[in-house]
Amino acid sequence: MTHHNTPDTANRNTSNTANASSGTQAGRQNDKADFAHDRTYWRNQFAKEPYYESGQQFSDFESAYQVGYQGRGRHTARSFDQAEPDLRSEWEASKGSAKVGWEKAKHAVRAAWDRVEDAIPGDSNRNGH
């Protein structure tokens, strides 16, 4: 999977991590505002992802991308695998009318999680990015 990182993404995600982990209302509002940039990225990218199937809509994955994006900030001391049960619960609560189940959505959650992870300086997930 190809990830496109820019300095503004790294800076935004670093500050987002602090905001998200604080649990404040302002932090949650910043999560939504910060995700706007990634929403545009994913709207353009989702049909190129390996889990995409013909006919699926961005709306089927949008909440998964947001959960992955915000979840990386909330679960800073955990790996994706460790956080997955909580991420699934967060997605279940926010999926709305998404027409995909968790087995499909988790790939989008992971892709967004990895995009945030890859933008953070260093290689804390040890994936070489």
For the segment 50-83, what is each residue's pLDDT rounded down to a tens digit?
A: 999 999 999 999 999 999 999 998 998 999 999 9
State pTM to two decimals. Answer: 0.71
Task: Report the C-alpha gap between 92 and 98 in whole angstroms.
Answer: 10
Task: Report the C-alpha gap between 15 and 128 in whole angstroms.
Answer: 22
